[in-house]
Amino acid sequence: MSSMPSPSPQIVRRVERLRKELLDHDYRYYVLAEPVIADEDYDRLMRELQDLEGRYPVLRSADSPTQRVGGEPTKQFASANHNPPMLSLANTYSEEEIRDFDRRVRELLEGEKPVYVAEPKFDGVAIALTYREGVFVRGATRGDGTQGDDISNNLRTIRSLPLRLRTKDPFLMDLEVRGEAFMHRTDFEAMNEQRETAGEKSFINPRNATAGTLKLQDPKLVAARPIQIFAYFLFAGRKRLATHMENLRILRSLGFPVNGDAQQCTSIDQVVAYWENLEARRDSLPYDIDGVVIKVDNLRQQDILGTIARSPRWAVAFKFASRKAETQLTGITLQVGRTGTVTPVAELEPVFLGGTTVSRATLHNIDYIRELDLRVGDVVVVEKGGDVIPKVSGVVPGRRPAGAKRFTMPAVCPVCGSGIYRTEGEANYFCENAACPAQVKGRIEHFASRPALDIEGLGEAAVEQLVTLGLVGNVADLYALAGKKKDIVALERWGEKSAQNLLDAIEGSKTQPYHKVLFGLAIRHVGTGVAKVLATEFPSIDALQEASPERLQSTQQVGPTIAESIAHFFGDRHNRNVIRRLKEAGLQFTTAAPRERKTLAGKTFVLTGTLPSYTREEAAAIIEQNGGKVSGSVSKSTTYVLAGDDAGAKLAKARSLGVRVITEDEFKTLVQ
């Protein structure tokens, strides 16, 4: 491959300017929540920097904002030692216990009066961040407190994490910062809806989702997840630090997100008042907390107090109690989610709990009801623990009325009347009617998403408007919007140009291939990969629709669960009607006949790096259309490695094995 050109001084200055400007915009957007440019302007700057770094790889650096997209997947996380150790906190649950903590602190300080700092105790994942010469070099999980996993590439994708510190103080260039990774509830719920629409398993709660995400071995997947951080600990060996509260101010000045609810307390009475206030406000916070952390503010006093076992004597967690109440179960109704999940809901005699009046609570699924042996009329225990959503957690023994009946799951959807079903091995029932009013918005958003029909301009807000005002009721209605342009222009935040852009994008989506349309239909468990397999095995939607479960299961990657889901989807008359209308609108429901000329037959390709003209998906499609195969790893049986800019470990392995490496131009010659 030819040597790369050297950048001119003007190019070097431009790259530095772009890098500084983009990092500053990241800080303003993700830390200060005060953006000063539009998203499209930010994207334009990012594309320019990516282009320059692509042309001049020598200009790439670890602190460049282009590096947030994630590198190559890793097979195993390296170990990372913690010095000083990441200690765990002792827990207290009552005012009496927190006052006892204060007494012990004052006794050990022998007359010195402590000042405390009270902060929210985030329900997330503890992380440690290391900086050298002002640049982020390592990030790790807590692990056992003395050793965790090095997850630097994953943490680097979090946009609120500064890749370069905002300081010129030479004593603050080498330091360690500790904090919490977490997700906002709204981001978590939106992510779960997308996963359910794609037939993927949803996460239990934001903490579970954050922990699972940070242990993914592909940073590109991490970059797509909505993880945030708060910093709350600073260790700078070269700078004399005085108080924890001062450290929080320093962390904020360095560019870290720092929670604004931290408060100095000059007495234990103020600590208790802070705990009571935060407990009352916890439901209004955008993230989950499970208590308050109390720390002695003075760092010299912290050293005097020291540690015991693996917990500091100078800090403690003041946990919130699980909130429970007793009330009567007056009925069980069904709620249909945006992805078709049919969830039983407890209708309750209203009861005041955790600052709000609760009259409904989740019952999760029919198995949960049977496990608790719930019956209408029972006196039940309603609880708000770490979750904001109340749940029924038990039945009060001995208070069941005579004649109380067990709940039986209905056979039809309570919203649209279509049949509902549960696949063997799954906990939930589902309504598969794509036109069910309870699911319309979620299905349209999925249909318009990039992996599906990729309809630009049809995001959540636009879908909300179009559905709420009755302009669309299912995905087929999108293709009738051309006759309703005046109605769209009349909507808030719309105009002649934006309406026409949307209509053009909808019209353009008609050229999307069959497998993308198939994925866009949101058949449960049919993701992008399975959709491609099905489109190849069943070259028309008619063939797929008529296939028996046995025929479906004979297809690679299609097991009993997917086969049953497909059969249920096509067995619904509403879905068949939507597909008929999409056909009439001109969408692609057949796979183009394969080219007779198989120029790449018998050849195996591995793709690495960024190609000038193709995405990896596009290059892979060309290879497969020409009879070749695409593999994810290099071996002696690999014919070619197609390498673009920023090629990584696969390129090195190809050279070590003697596998031929080709450029995009050479690739184009092969497929002519």
Domain of 637, CATH number, reads 3.40.50.10190
Chain segment 179-238, per-residue pLDDT in tens = 999 999 889 888 888 877 776 777 767 888 898 899 888 888 888 899 999 999 999 876
Q: According to the model, what pLDDT value does residue 518 have? A: 94
Backbone angles phi, psi at 630, to 5 degrees: -115, 130
CB proximity list for 543: less than 8 A, separation 6 or greater: none
Residue at 401 is within a domain: no
pLDDT at 386 over 50: no
Q: According to the model, what pLDDT value does residue 215 have? A: 87
The Cα 50–Cα 436 span in angstroms is: 43
Q: Among the three residues 319, 347, 377, which one is the final residue of a domain in this structure?
A: 319
CATH number at residue 191: 3.30.470.30
Q: According to the model, what pLDDT value does residue 308 have? A: 82
The mean pLDDT value for 33-43 works out to 73
pLDDT at 355 over 80: no
Pairing of strands 175-182, 228-235: antiparallel
CATH number at residue 555: 1.10.150.20
Between residues 424 and 346, the one the model is more confident about? 346
CATH number at residue 356: 2.40.50.140
Q: According to the model, what pLDDT value does residue 91 have? A: 86
- How would DSSP label each residue in 156-176? TT-TTS-SB-S---GGGSSEE
**Angle 460-468/440-448 helices, nearest 10 degrees?**
140
Confidence of residue 30 (pLDDT cuts 50, 70, 90): low
pLDDT at 397 over 80: yes
Q: Pick from 171, 161, 341, 181: which is nearest to 257 by CA?
A: 161
CATH number at residue 49: 1.10.287.610
Q: What angle do CA 205, 211, 216 make, to 5 degrees?
A: 125
- The verdict on 264 and 232 lying in the same domain is yes
Q: According to the model, what pLDDT value does residue 621 have? A: 77
Residue at 427 is within a domain: no
Q: According to the model, what pLDDT value does residue 467 have? A: 87
Between 140-144, 227-231, 251-255, the lowest mean confidence (pLDDT) is in 140-144
The mean pLDDT value for 609-626 works out to 78
Residue at 403 is within a domain: no
Q: According to the model, what pLDDT value does residue 3 have? A: 56
Question: CB-side exposure of 557: number of CA atoms within 13 Å?
Answer: 13
Buried b (16+ CB within 10 A) or exposed e, 244-255: bbebbebbbebb
- The verdict on 112 and 22 lying in the same domain is no
pLDDT at 42 over 80: no
The Cα 535–Cα 621 span in angstroms is: 13
Across-strand partners of 120?
Answer: 292
Q: Among the three residues 319, 346, 377, which one is the final residue of a domain in this structure?
A: 319
- The verdict on 510 and 608 lying in the same domain is no
- The verdict on 52 and 113 lying in the same domain is no
Q: According to the model, what pLDDT value does residue 216 have? A: 86
pLDDT at 161 over 90: yes
- The verdict on 151 and 209 lying in the same domain is yes
pLDDT at 600 over 70: yes
The mean pLDDT value for 451-480 works out to 90
Radius of gyration of the chain (CA): 29
Q: According to the model, what pLDDT value does residue 1 have? A: 43
pLDDT at 479 over 90: yes
- The verdict on 156 and 101 lying in the same domain is yes
Residue at 660 is within a domain: yes
Between residues 386 and 102, the one the model is more confident about? 102
Residue at 351 is within a domain: yes
Residue at 411 is within a domain: no
- The verdict on 227 and 158 lying in the same domain is yes
- The verdict on 264 and 370 lying in the same domain is no
Confidence of residue 2 (pLDDT cuts 50, 70, 90): very low
Confidence of residue 299 (pLDDT cuts 50, 70, 90): very high
Q: Which domain range does residue 337 map to?
A: 323-395
Q: Among the three residues 319, 338, 354, which one is the final residue of a domain in this structure?
A: 319
Q: According to the model, what pLDDT value does residue 228 have? A: 94
Give the tokens for residue 177.
């910062």
384 is an active site residue: no
Are 145 and 82 a contacting pair, CB within 8 Å?
Answer: yes
- The verdict on 618 and 554 lying in the same domain is no
Residue at 79 is within a domain: no
- The verdict on 346 and 252 lying in the same domain is no
Residue at 134 is within a domain: yes
Chain segment 512-552, per-residue pLDDT in tens = 999 999 999 988 888 887 898 899 889 999 999 999 888 89
Between residues 116 and 530, the one the model is more confident about? 116
- The verdict on 521 and 647 lying in the same domain is no
- Give the other-Cβ count within 10 Å of 605's Cβ: 22
The mean pLDDT value for 622-632 works out to 83
Number of domain units in the chain: 5
Confidence of residue 74 (pLDDT cuts 50, 70, 90): low
Q: What percent of the chain has a predicted confidence (pLDDT) above 70?
A: 93
**pLDDT, mean over the chain:** 86
Q: What angle do CA 281, 284, 286 make, to 5 degrees?
A: 125
Phi-psi domain of 145 (left: phi exceeds 0; alpha: psi -120 through 50; beta: other):
left
Q: According to the model, what pLDDT value does residue 224 have? A: 87
Q: According to the model, what pLDDT value does residue 264 have? A: 96
The Cα 177–Cα 158 span in angstroms is: 15
**3-state SS, residue 406:** strand
Between residues 583 and 619, the one the model is more confident about? 583
Active-site residue among 121, 384, 441, 650? 121
- The verdict on 383 and 478 lying in the same domain is no
